[in-house]
Amino acid sequence: MSALPTSGLDRGALAPELLQSLRAVLGDRLHLSEAVRRHHGASETHFEVMLPDAVVFPHSTEEVVAVVKACVAHDTPVVPYGAGTSIEGNTTPVRGGVTIDLSEMNRIVEVRAEDFDVTVEAGVRREQLNEHLRDVGLFFPIDPGANATIGGMASTRASGTNAVRYGTMREAVLSLRVVTPEGRDIRTSRRARKSAAGYDLTRLMIGSEGTLGIITEVTLRLHGIPEAILSAVCSFDNLSGACDTVVQAIQLGVPLARVEILDDVQMRAVNAWSRLDYPEKTTLFFEFHGSERYVEEQVETVSALAAENGGSEFQWSNLPEERARLWKARHEAYYAAVGLRKGCVGWPTDVCVPISRLAECIVETKKDIEAASIPGPILGHVGDGNFHVVFVVDPNRPEEMAEAEALNARLVRRALDMDGTCTGEHGIGLGKQDWLVEELGEAVDLMRAIKRALDPGGLFNPGKIFSL
């Protein structure tokens, strides 16, 4: 893989004139301490720590505009930052510069219940938004697991456990407010549910990882809270039976709200971490939404399919506290996986393939991992063909890092050979740049052309997605 640029712990002070400009706008919300910089340069995964030269906490789009204009005037990189939950080095400041932490821009601007949409500032967290919406009978369905910020979810085109029914951030976002590399404050579209007006700038920004603009406000589609919600757990003797159950349910048109797969190793980790006692076998976590009768019909259909594919009887619940415990365990699966080996870190990766190839891809990946010297629990949102592996490695043992890289390469190559993608939801960041070129070829040159046109100085989150 291509070498990464490095950034030391002390890169030298920013230009005094730039610091003066930033202090004039932000006052004590400009931070230069190593502790704050280290927090914004570290990752929960295996990437090297690379510190920014400064961190700022704006409270408005106007302040973001002022910061961007000051940084551009001094040829200084800027890196937008939300909750820091991305896992492909997406917010690592590889050229130092100024990290713009948007977490304090956390106002819910306006809920329009009659239109089923809401406008929020970029720093609003998804759990905060759903807590606010509960009293009006609406919810925001995109759930990547982490309590991420809405702006960060848009910039990485997040999806997650509900994607099989409700789609991803690509479908959820109606409009964005964005600060461009020129320091312009633009809106990418209006609130209409469809439009044929010009280029689709909204979709261009979604998934661009802060390389084309800094998202400061997001307008989202909302959904009504279902009349009935039921969660179920079903274990299988093998991976193929679990995958076949999901594919058959989708082919029959069952509108699964969530369906997650966890292999036997991941279930062992989840049981230990979350103090559960499920069988340590390949397991599916389901959630069904709809009317009482409709949910019953969905459960009957899927439980019959599971039985035909070697699944156990469903353990199900419609009690909110039991459902919350189940999905909390799923959301903490990454930490559970890393907890399998003390003193180790996670090297998480993901791919997505057409659902007809899903079972084959997972089973072949499982064989690779069983022959390896490092654990690699498998989990994922199998309803849309997306699954993850968390290689648990000792960062002080180069041979383990090399083995994880080799296993990851085999996994991605397998997915591409099946006409899949190198990443279903993590994004490219630092970790999958070579694979992006392998996947899309000359289309990456078009991406580079767009980047150069919008950010000729290469100052917005430099070094991410592809090299220039």
pLDDT at 10: 47
CA distances from 210 to 21, 81, 90, 157 (A): 22, 9, 9, 11
Please tell me the pTM assigned to this model: 0.93
144 with 425: CB under 8 angstroms?
yes
Distance between alpha carbon 464 and the CA centroid of its chain, in Å? 15
Which residue, among 77, 93, 78, has the nearest Cα to 42 in the 3D structure?
93
pLDDT at 43: 83
pLDDT at 8: 43
Hey, what domains does the chain have and what are their CATH numbers?
108-224 (3.30.465.10), 228-330 (3.30.70.2190), 335-438 (3.30.70.2740)
Beta bridge partners of 345: 393
pLDDT at 3: 38
Distance CA 421, CA 206 (A): 17
Give 378's Cβ-side CA count (13 Å radius).
30
Please write down the long-range contacts of 399-404, taking CB distance under 8 Å and 24 or more positions apart. 400/373, 400/374, 401/46, 401/347, 403/372, 403/373, 403/374, 404/46, 404/347, 404/374, 404/376
Distance CA 468, CA 466 (A): 7
Question: Which amino acid appears at position 128 of this protein?
Answer: Q
Going from the first residue of the chain to its last (468 residues), give the mean pLDDT of each consecutive group of 10, the final group possibly shorter.
Answer: 41 85 97 96 90 98 98 98 93 97 98 98 97 96 92 94 92 98 97 94 97 98 96 95 95 94 97 95 96 94 96 90 91 95 95 95 97 96 92 96 97 98 94 96 98 98 95
Name the E strands within 48-154. 54-56, 78-81, 98-101, 108-112, 117-121, 138-139
State the burial class of residue 12 (Cβ atoms within 10 Å of its Cβ: 0-12, 13-18, 19+).
exposed
